[in-house]
Copies of this chain bind each other. A is one copy, B any other.
Amino acid sequence: MMLSDGSRPGRGVVAADHVSLRRNNLSVVLRHVREMGSRSRARIAADTGLNKATVSSLVAELVERGLLRDGRAESERGALGRPGQLVELDGSAVCGVGAEINVDYLAVTALDLSGVTVIERRVPLDVAHLDPGTTLDQLAELIREAVTAVHTRGGQTAGVTLAVPGLVQSATGLLKLAPNLGWTEVPVVGEMRARLGDPSYPVRVDNEANLAALAAYSELKGGAEGKAEDIVLLTGAVGVGGGMVTGGHLLRGGHGFSGEVGHMPVAPAGGICGCGRTGCWETVVGLTALLNKATDPDDPVRDPSLDVEQRLAEITRRADAGGARTLRALADVGTWLGIGGAILVNILNPDVLVLGGYFAVLGPWLKEPLESAIRDRVIAPDGGGCRVVQSELGFTAAVRGGAQISLDQVFLDPTLVGRDAAGVAQ
């Protein structure tokens, strides 16, 4: 199963012919090696039900395309007979690029096929006070840097995905509305393609919480903590974003506008939200709410021109030192996080609730009151089996998810990469 919803069978019914069967089986073998790790051709044949000659031919083609390579010899005799040469992912030929616009920073990353980070950059920027054109100019500069790094390494760029904190129409590349950026109806894909000189690789746009949820899904899938096919990711920043994976698939909704969790009316007596309504969840769990509770107006940690990681490091220092006001504010935010989180857990019954963004950084203090609120408020026994974890991806989650979406297209259809790719990658 792939990460992107691109892999999801649509409503149309499609039968397998011989060309699509070959392409499907190339994809099956490549994904199998990704999910299960390096293994022999005989083992791949046994695992997938394909016959050995077919597997040899498929592996040969994937090696030609630079997607697999021969690795070390199998160290132990398996149940299947003699040790053989292991086949493994060859990361070098193609990379996916993710690039994020957020309220107070820009970020970019490039990942190779095996998930190795080729380049990663984050630049503080007060995006909400710049015009979109200027911001997109600066992001284009970062993307060019990433594409150059991929090229220098001998690889090709499979695609670029833009991550934005707002409502997007992925099909048209339009950012409809990003309240916390102050952007409305910006054709971000078209604008970025123009800045990049109309490149041959595809450029996409997606919601940052969706992409962060995909990255978290990948992160958890590799872990030993139990089932994680249904996850809810909450990203804490100035706003609160929600991303959902259900049954291994991103939940985008009918028009791609899912995950607007920040405006649940959970605190009717609460403050006025940026959206103009009263009592939205964001007003009690957004970063501004925490800073207002934990600090005085002239406290330097409120300064948006400082990098958010530095500001959070200072909050962490105060909490570690036992600062009473800081700890009270964190407990309060944690409880409110659980009150809204319980709504999501009751509706979606995720295996895992993942804390991202600032929620992850301050997770050690937020988690206990959050879990307590979930235990109290979720109808299913034991919170419906939901675990709460902190993402370890920090502020790179959305760009990693963006890079993965581009790579997923290759896993779904390995023939997208030319047969000379292995040569290029030398």
Residues of A that sit less than 8 Å from B by CB: 1, 5, 8-17, 20-21, 24-25, 28-29, 31-32, 35, 48-50, 167, 176-177, 179, 227, 229-230, 242, 244, 246-249, 251-261, 263-266, 268, 275, 277, 339, 343-344, 346-352, 377-381, 384-386
Tell me if B8 and A15 are in contact (CB < 8 A). Answer: no
**Are B275 and A254 within 8 A (Cβ)?**
no
Q: Which residues of B contact A386 (CB under 8 A)?
A: 254
Given contacts A1-B13, A13-B48, A16-B16, are A253 and B349 in contact (CB under 8 A)? yes
A243 to B13, CA, bound (A): 25
**Separation in Å of the A44 CB from the closest CB of chain B?**
9
Chain B residue nearest to A230 in the complex (CB): B254
List residues of chain B with CB within 8 A of the CB of A9.
Answer: 1, 9
From B16, B256, B265, B351, A25 is in contact (CB under 8 Å) with B16
Q: Which residues of B contact A167 (CB under 8 A)?
A: 379-381
A380 interface neighbour in B5, B48, B176, B247, Cβ under 8 Å: B176
The answer, among B14, B177, B347, for a CB contact under 8 Å with A258, is B347
Residues of B near A252 (CB, < 8 A) are 247, 349
A264 touches B176 (CB 8 A): no
B347-A247 in contact (CB<8A): no
Bound form: Cα–Cα A14–B29 in Å: 9
Asked if B350 and A254 sit within 8 Å, CB to CB, the answer is: yes
Q: Which residues of B contact A260 (CB under 8 A)?
A: 346-347, 349, 378-380
CB distance from A24 to the nearest CB of B (A): 7
Assembly CA distance A222 to B24 (angstroms) = 30
A377 near B343: Cβ-Cβ < 8 Å: no
**Cα distance A14–B277 in the bound complex, in angstroms:** 49
The CB with the most chain B CB atoms within 10 A, among A253, A343, A377, is that of A253
Q: Within 8 Å CB of A31, what residues of B?
A: 13
Q: How far is the CA of A352 from the CA of B254 in the complex (A)?
A: 9
Q: Could you say which residues of chain B place their CB within 8 Å of the CB of A377?
A: 263, 265, 277
Contacts of A343 in B (CB 8 A): 264-265, 343
A-B contact pairs, 21 of them (CB 8 A): A5-B247, A8-B247, A13-B32, A13-B35, A14-B28, A14-B48, A15-B49, A16-B16, A16-B24, A176-B381, A246-B253, A251-B251, A255-B349, A255-B351, A257-B379, A257-B380, A257-B384, A260-B379, A264-B343, A268-B268, A347-B347
B247 near A227 (CB under 8 angstroms)? Answer: no
Selected from B5, B248, B254, B263, the residue in CB contact (under 8 A) with A379 is B263
Complex-state Cα separation, A381 to B184, whole angstroms: 11
Q: Which residues of B contact A277 (CB under 8 A)?
A: 377
**Beta-carbon contact of B349 and A347 below 8 Å:** no
Asked if B229 and A11 sit within 8 Å, CB to CB, the answer is yes
Residues of the B chain whose Cβ atoms lie less than 8 Å from the Cβ of A48: 13-15
Contact, CB under 8 Å: B10 / A255? no
Query: Would you give the shortest CB distance from A125 to chain B, in whole angstroms?
Result: 24
Q: How far is the CB of A300 from chain B (nearest CB, A)?
A: 32
Q: How far is the CA of A384 from the CA of B169 in the complex (A)?
A: 11
Chain B residues, Cβ within 8 Å of A244: 347
Q: How far is the CA of A380 from the CA of B256 in the complex (A)?
A: 10
Complex Cα spacing A229 to B219, Å? 29
Within the assembled complex, what's the spacing in Å between the Cα atoms of A10 and B249? 10
A265 CB contacts on chain B under 8 angstroms: 266, 339, 343, 377
